[in-house]
Structure 1
């Protein structure tokens, strides 16, 4: 009877010298880790996706599908509240007079205190527009202490 003297066939190694079943490599460890982690990640992502769905049936909230269905060719024109107020007051200044616009500015700031930090810049803009429409001396006649006399500052900035 002849015994094998080839050392590579002993101790679980094949003829190529690579590890057999006993000595598993790094690919096996990575595969096992993925097999444990991947289902957890999938369950969590599915849970988060389900949590974001509007299940109440309330149509007032906008969904991603409704937002994507809007006309994409229209430019986004969402103005901040202070910009809307400024534009409205500039129209009033042109249609009425600066006094009406300043009164409405003061009322808007009193009714919505969050606009107070924008009051000075709006009043300066109104002052500049008043100078362009009425000239410096007539525009100055409308000045009043709205937003720390910022209207008068706007008039003075436009005066040569």
Structure 2
């Protein structure tokens, strides 16, 4: 019995091997990058907005413009001072500082702002009548500063 002889080629040296090597190097990189991009587009906060978590100048400026808790509290108390009276605002300032000790370092400046606003709205004599020892009598110093 005679075997047919066909020309033998060296195994694995054809164009398929080059394509295979290229895919073996490129495919993992493509998969990692596409997975990373997919994760950054997921809304992890659970909100209904279609926000993209990829960093952009608009996102950074939006986060930077968010207001500090002491600024929010000061504005809320100033509105309360106008709507009700300085005594209520001072009581709520003391409660806010007691409930959130990190606001204690801002208490004096908020109380002074309330004192200045009280003088504008109620006049110096009536504003002084609401003074109480909240934040080391800073409300009274705000009233006194506005008087002169």
TM-score range, shorter chain: 0.5 to 0.7
Gaps of 5+ in 2: 1-28
Q: What is the CA distance between 1:53 and its match in structure 2?
A: 7.3
CA distance in 1, matches of 2:38, 2:70: 33
The structure carrying a bigger helix percent of its residues is 2
Q: How far apart are 1:63 and its partner, in Å?
A: 4.5
- Aligned twin of 1:60: 45
1:113 equivalent in alignment to 2:101:
yes
| Correspondent of 1:140 among 110, 121, 128 | 128
Alignment of 1:88 onto 2:73: no
Q: Structure 1 pair 105/58, CA: closer, same or farther in 2 (3 Å)?
A: same
For the pair shown, which has the larger CA radius of gyration, 1 or 2? 1
**Equivalenced residues, count:** 111
Distance 2:109 2:38 in 1: 42
TM-score normalised by length of structure 2: 0.63
CA shift for structure 1 position 60: 1.3
RMSD of equivalent CA atoms: 3.5
